[in-house]
Structure 1
Amino acid sequence: MGYVWLAAIGAGAFALLAILKVNRILWTMVAAALMLGAAGYAWQGRPGLAGHSASSGLAPTPDDGAMLELRDQMLERYTGAAAYLVAADAMTRIGERRAAVQVLLGGIRVAPKSVVLWTGLANALAAHDANQVSPPALFAFQQAMRLAPKHPAPPFFLGLAYVRAGEFATARRYWAKALALTPADISYRGEIATRLALLDRFLALQDVPTAGQNSPVILGLTQDPEP
């Protein structure tokens, strides 16, 4: 079937050239291009394979309700900047992580000094880059910390990104910083303290033979971002 379509494309191309009254000298160039494409298809094409929908390779990401709620408490959900977070969350849920990054970049163009948007962008970049703290993600986290050096959210979510990347000792440093920056009377301080305590427990278990069974997901540090 693939070769039939190839022939049809060739015939259609020459018919279009005739209709448009293109100079015959140019026909040889078109013929050469078509022959080159046909040769490549004959060499590497596999027309016998069944067709299927294209996939980006990125699975939809389930909501981590507790973490989103904590983020909203820390970054004040009901602000103009937070609307971009909501849109980015929607993109992430369906696996469109690149689109989530683009949404947040659009918000930063409007509000370049928003700690909310820089933290959200950092999270989106880490998710886009296979849950690693890539240089772009780290830059975004650092920018958020420069804009709000006394806000606990940027170091906390940088720590979370390191947890998801499997760099637990590094994560602990940032979670400890986030806890130190969090006022004693604020509602989410207990959430940060609990996660730091669980991370400490996890790190303590690393030298135990069965420690591999105690993943951050099981301990409640974070939800596994992949289904």
Structure 2
Amino acid sequence: MTWLLVVGLALFVMAMLLFVLKIPRGAREAVASALLLGIAGYVTQGSPSLAGAPTQGREQAPADAAAMVEARGKVTNSGIPTLNRWVVTSDAFARNGNYADAAEVLRIAVNEDPASSEAWLAMANALVGHADGLLTPGALYAYRRAIETDPDAPGPPFFLGLAYAQEGRFVEARKLWADLLLNAPDSAQWRGPLFEQLQRLDAVIATQKRQALQGKAPVRPAVVP
């Protein structure tokens, strides 16, 4: 009976994506693959006939992925959650670390609406996640398109600065964040966290300068989204 419920739920989700969100043909394979993987994982690892045995939770990589998605929703001047159906779908993939599928959905989004800064930013973050934190040429292009399509949006320069900082390009990261903070509205909720990030970055840059004079190895910062 449990297996029928699992399969039925998967079919219901697929129907909602096809007929409500109207996912085009180009994204159907990625969505179907994700659903099939979920069913396969349950078939191979699920034991519905056994009694529950809760264990202590362990931190996993998807937690960081989900944090990045949540952070993107906070570094914004709009308090309204995204209404872009492609971004919503891609976020579901990105939260679970399925960056390739997320980027594929967002490729369709930017082809449909090249002026969507939100979609370009989500794509850039997905590409960085897929590259294990590296700022690839494709991700850099997506960040720059996000900035070009909406120069007033705080998200693109913030996350591009974050990508720079993770690669050790602190001067470039600082310039982006300092300019962003200078123009940040006083009421922006992300202003305080950005100020703290900038302080951490300044401390690291100062430490690196001292170490360079002393001939020591540079220190890398613990930058958080």
TM tier, smaller: 0.5 to 0.7
Q: How does 1:190-201 map to 2 (within 5 A)?
A: 190-201=192-203
Q: 1:65 to 1:191 in 2, by over 3 A?
A: farther
Matches within 5 A, 1:108-119: 108-119=110-121
Q: Could you say what the CA RMSD is over the residues aligned between the two structures, in angstroms?
A: 2.8
Structure 2 counterparts to residues 58-97 of structure 1, below 5 A:
60-63=61-64, 68-75=69-76, 76=78, 78-81=81-84, 83-97=85-99
> Retained in 1: the 8 A contact 2:110–2:120?
yes
Instruction: Map residues 61-210 of structure 1 onto 2, 5 A cutoff.
Output: 61-63=62-64, 68-75=69-76, 76=78, 78-81=81-84, 83-208=85-210
SS of the aligned residue for 1:99 comes to helix
Q: Give, in angstroms, the shift of residue 201 of structure 1.
A: 1.0
Q: Which residue matches 1:39?
A: none
Sequence identity (%): 34
1:157-182, Cα deviation, whole Å (9 max, x unpaired): 10011122222222111111221231
Larger radius of gyration: 1
CA contact (8 A) 2:123 2:142 kept: yes
Q: How much has 1:86 moved relative to structure 2? A: 4.2
Could you give the per-residue CA deviations for residues 131-169 of structure 1, whole angstroms, max 9, x where no partner exists?
A: 222211111111111111122221111001112222222
Aligned length: 161
Q: Could you tell me the TM-score, scaled by structure 2's length?
A: 0.61
> Measured at CA, do residues 160 and 106 of structure 1 come closer, stay the same or move farther in structure 2, by a change above 3 Å?
same
Tell me the alpha carbon deviations over residues 61-120 of structure 1, each in whole angstroms, 9 at most, x when there is no partner. 423666544421334462322x54443343234332211111211222333211111111
Distance 1:94 1:60, change over 3 A: farther
Given that 1:126 and 1:137 are in contact with CA atoms closer than 8 Å, whether structure 2 keeps it comes out as yes
Change (3 A) 1:196 1:90: same
**1:95 is aligned with what amino acid?**
G
Cα separation, partners in 2 of 1:147 and 1:161, compared to 1, 3 Å: same
Residue type at the aligned position of 1:189: R
Mapped partners of 2:116, 2:219: distance in 1: 37
Extract unaligned runs of 5+ from structure 2: 1-59
Whether the 8 Å CA contact 1:70–1:188 is kept in 2: the answer is: no
Greater Cα shift, 167-176 or 207-216: 207-216
Secondary structure of 2:134's aligned partner? coil
Report how far residue 195 of structure 1 moved: 0.8
Q: How does 1:3-82 map to 2 (within 5 A)?
A: 60-63=61-64, 68-75=69-76, 76=78, 78-81=81-84
Report Cα offsets for 1:157-212 as digits up to 9, x if no partner. Answer: 10011122222222111111221231122222111111111111111111455987
Unaligned ranges ≥5, structure 1? 1-58
Letter in 2 for 1:71: R
Question: How far apart in 2 are the matches of 1:194 and 1:66?
Answer: 18
